[in-house]
């Protein structure tokens, strides 16, 4: 799955063989990835899969045990200072000063990065974030959605070339999430590269490219279509009555790797197309149920990857 060689200046992140252990437990294993400039790169994976650790290694907050790479053309091992000046990192947990006001937090960041007119920069950002009228409110008193907007504002204020967003939309309502993603797309349109980690499948589909990581291993990457195609998963969608019984019935049958209910429908997937076909054949003509051959969803693919990864690495 190697990409065609791209000119170095078009690459925002290029790392090879990143490995990191904490007290003997390997959290990230031999991870290699490439992110092109100006793209939104989604970083997906279950909790504890090594997403945060990888992001921290990219911006110099953690030192990899082995491996190498560049971030914006700077060596991640030796030039962390230069990387930090050009990267905006939004932590998973709100990490601005709760006892400073919105304006004071933004001015602090602006001064730290040496932005020319910190007051003006903060004022502009407040207007852009739609935080007018709240500039004197303490950051700790903001609601979850506003905190997240403020955090995004703080890390974009110094005009970084790369944004590293660690689960930025966790615990945020759908409207705020949509606004957030519109903002990210607007930023990417201006040439900013965005690496964003998330749990949400709908968010993954809003990324230009995605990578799936589980148990510290990078299992798949590419566009959503490429990842689905590469999974070689066949999926049947069943609608109708008695789906619960059907699900119990199908589990463990030859060729059936995964049975998952999706609201009023059931997804039946398997990697061995022929075996799945023959198993399905005996159920297809049951009355009251409608079988349809469909493409697997991204979630089907990820659950499958995760189950296989669990067998391989756990």
Q: Does 63 bind other proteins (CB under 8 A)?
A: yes
Q: Does 84 bind other proteins (CB under 8 A)?
A: yes
User: Residue 197 Cβ, how far from other proteins at the closest point, in Å?
Assistant: 15
Of 228, 236, 261, the closest CA to residue 247 belongs to 261
Q: Which of 139, 172 has the CB closer to other proteins? A: 139
Q: Does 48 bind other proteins (CB under 8 A)?
A: no
Q: Which of 154, 234 has the CB closer to other proteins? A: 154
- Note whether 195 and 164 are within 8 A (CB): yes
Which residues have C-beta within 8 Å of that of residue 264, sequence separation ≥ 6?
239, 243
User: Residue 281 Cβ, how far from other proteins at the closest point, in Å?
Assistant: 55
Q: What do you get for the CA distance between the two ends of the chain, in Å?
A: 24
Q: Does 281 bind other proteins (CB under 8 A)?
A: no
Q: Which of 89, 215 has the CB closer to other proteins? A: 89
Looking at 55-63, 185-193, 278-286, 304-312, which segment touches other proteins (CB under 8 A)? 55-63
Give the other-Cβ count within 10 Å of 160's Cβ: 20
Q: Does 93 bind other proteins (CB under 8 A)?
A: yes
Using alpha carbons only, give the angle 89, 92, 97 rounded to the nearest 5 degrees: 75
Q: Which of 125, 298 has the CB closer to other proteins? A: 125
Element (H, E) at 240: strand 234-240
Distance CA 296, CA 191 (A): 32
Structure-token pair, residue 103: 């304006």
Q: Does 98 bind other proteins (CB under 8 A)?
A: yes
How many residues form the binding site for other proteins (CB under 8 A)?
Answer: 22
Binding site for other proteins (CB under 8 A): 56, 59-63, 80-81, 84-85, 87, 89, 91, 93-98, 109, 112-113
């Amino acid at each position: 799955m190697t990409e065609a060689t791209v000119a170095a200046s078009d690459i925002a992140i290029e790392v090879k063989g990143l490995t990191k252990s904490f007290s003997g437990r390997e959290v990230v294993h031999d991870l290699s990835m490439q992110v092109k400039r100006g793209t939104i790169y989604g970083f997906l994976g279950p909790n504890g899969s090594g997403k945060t650790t990888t992001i921290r290694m990219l911006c110099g907050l953690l030192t990899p045990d082995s491996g190498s790479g560049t971030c914006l053309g700077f060596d991640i091992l030796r030039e962390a200072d230069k990387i930090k000046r050009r990267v905006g990192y939004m932590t998973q947990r709100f990490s601005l000063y709760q006892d400073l006001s919105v304006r004071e937090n933004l001015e602090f960041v602006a001064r730290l990065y040496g932005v020319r007119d910190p007051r003006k920069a903060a004022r502009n950002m407040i207007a852009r974030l739609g935080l007018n009228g709240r500039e004197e409110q303490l950051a700790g008193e903001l609601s979850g959605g506003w905190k997240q907007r403020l955090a995004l504002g703080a890390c974009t204020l110094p005009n970084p070339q790369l944004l590293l967003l660690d689960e930025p939309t966790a615990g945020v309502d759908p409207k705020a999430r949509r606004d957030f993603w519109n903002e990210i797309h607007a930023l990417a349109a201006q040439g900013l590269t965005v690496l964003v980690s998330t749990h949400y499948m709908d968010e993954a589909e809003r990324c230009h490219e995605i990578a799936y990581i589980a148990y510290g291993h990078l299992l798949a990457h590419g566009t959503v279509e490429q990842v689905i195609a590469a999974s070689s998963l066949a999926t049947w969608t069943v609608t109708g009555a008695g789906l619960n019984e059907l699900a119990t019935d199908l589990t463990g049958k030859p060729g059936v790797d995964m049975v998952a209910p999706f609201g009023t429908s059931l997804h039946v997937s398997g990697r061995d197309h022929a075996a799945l076909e023959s198993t399905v054949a005996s159920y297809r003509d049951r009355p009251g149920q409608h079988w349809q051959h469909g493409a697997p969803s991204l979630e089907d693919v990820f659950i499958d990857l995760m189950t296989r990864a669990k067998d391989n690495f756990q």
